[in-house]
Amino acid sequence: MRDHWISKFAIAESVAVLTAIWGVPSLIAQTALTAQTGQQGSGGERTKAGQPARPMPPIPRLSDGTPSLGWVDPAYKGVWKPVRLRDYADLLVERKEEGLPFQPWAKALYEYRIKTEQKDDPESLCLPPGGTLATVNRTASPWEFLQMPEQKRIIRVFEGASHMWQVIYMDGRPHPQEAYDLPTWMGHSIGHWEGDTLVVDTVGFNEGHWLSTMGAPRTNLHHLIERFTRTNYNTLRYEATIDDPGAYTRPFKIGWNIAWGYGQELVEIVCTENNQYPNLFPDEDTLLKQLQRKP
């Protein structure tokens, strides 16, 4: 599968090119800085063009006071832009030295998938990933939150995979029995706020996909709790507790930071079109020429 065109650029190179051409953006430079450090800029940073960096905007909030996990001011629009993270063992936030707590069959299957270079990865067949794999899919495709407090639900829209979305019910309902009886790719998600952290509880996954692109398996007993915290405008802290007694000996927690893709919008990708979407975009050389022509 070819990469998303924007991912062909290293962040620093993109900042350098765009800054040199337009002499701006400071916020783009800060996005890169934040992605690298996970810290909000103090305002003292400078772009490569030597211009002072514009102060990072505060975390936006909705009228009910909850943090916006997207954007409110169109001038600062964007999407969350994951990077490729293949092995969850590297992302463990507790008991890292023990590695993933596989059951014996799960460990053997994981090793088989590594040995066979993930040739059977369902995502390579355009099957939709769910759970943590939707957040960090193999193509590092961006996604965004659409918060609708008046409807007491939050929608997560994913650019990659199979044109997916996830409904997170915020109205206090429990998981219905149907979620377990009729498991689905994305499962059934309910959410609530703990301070400024969105906590999403999902059950009812089918067994159509893997837990990680490296090949860690999951079963329909998978219970996922995800925590999303916007630590500054450009950074989303993501932590996931994976409780799958079908494949693992105990629950475990993984986490990482996700960077804001400043100025980006989601585009249509339909994997089932034989993956032709990269042809919609110019290659790197053409893109650079276009950028250089821009006034």
Partner 1 sequence: MKMFRLIGLVAGLAITMPALPQALNEGQGHPLKGVWLGDWGTDKDKRNPVTIEMDWDGKAITGSINPGPDAAVFTKAELDPSNWTVHLEAESKGIRYVIDGKIQNLGSLRRSIVGTWSEGNQKGSFKITRH
Identify the residue among 11, 49, 109, 155 touching partner 1 (CB under 8 A): 109
CB of 238 to partner 1, least distance (A): 23
- How far apart are the two ends of the chain, measured CA to CA in Å? 34
32 vs 216, which CB is nearer to partner 1? Answer: 216
Identify the residue among 77, 107, 192, 227 touching partner 1 (CB under 8 A): 107
Alpha-carbon span 123 to 137, nearest angstrom: 8
- Kindly provide the residue ranges of all beta strands, DSSP E only, lying in 20-148, ordered along the sequence: 78-81, 143-148
250 binds partner 1 (CB under 8 A): no
The residue type of 215 is G
108 binds partner 1 (CB under 8 A): yes
CB of 243 to partner 1, least distance (A): 11
121 vs 144, which CB is nearer to partner 1? Answer: 121
Write out the DSSP string of 212-243.
STT-----TT-EEEEEEEEEETTEEEEEEEEE
CB of 120 to partner 1, least distance (A): 4
112 vs 165, which CB is nearer to partner 1? Answer: 112
Identify the residue among 55, 99, 246, 251 touching partner 1 (CB under 8 A): 246
Alpha-carbon span 3 to 6, nearest angstrom: 8
**Footprint of partner 1 on 127-186 (CB under 8 A):** 127
CB of 185 to partner 1, least distance (A): 9
Neighbour count for residue 103 (Cβ, 10 Å): 16
Beta-carbon contacts of residue 225 (< 8 Å; ≥ 6 apart): 199, 200, 201, 202, 240, 241, 243
Q: How many residues bind partner 1 (CB under 8 A)?
A: 26
63 vs 177, which CB is nearer to partner 1? Answer: 177
Identify the residue among 63, 65, 74, 119 touching partner 1 (CB under 8 A): 119
CB of 207 to partner 1, least distance (A): 4
Nearest alpha-carbon partner for 196 in 58, 74, 28, 36: 58
112 vs 193, which CB is nearer to partner 1? Answer: 112
Tokens of 237: 């802290």
**Footprint of partner 1 on 186-245 (CB under 8 A):** 206-210, 217-221, 245
Identify the residue among 247, 254, 269, 271 touching partner 1 (CB under 8 A): 247
**Footprint of partner 1 on 259-288 (CB under 8 A):** none
Alpha-carbon span 211 to 82, nearest angstrom: 16
Contact of 202 with 224, CB cutoff 8 Å: yes
- Adjacent-strand bridge partners of 257: 237
Question: Which backbone phi and psi does 8 adopt, to 5 degrees?
Answer: -75, -15
Contact of 277 with 259, CB cutoff 8 Å: no
Binding site for partner 1 (CB under 8 A): 103-105, 107-109, 112-113, 116, 119-120, 122, 127, 206-210, 217-221, 245-247
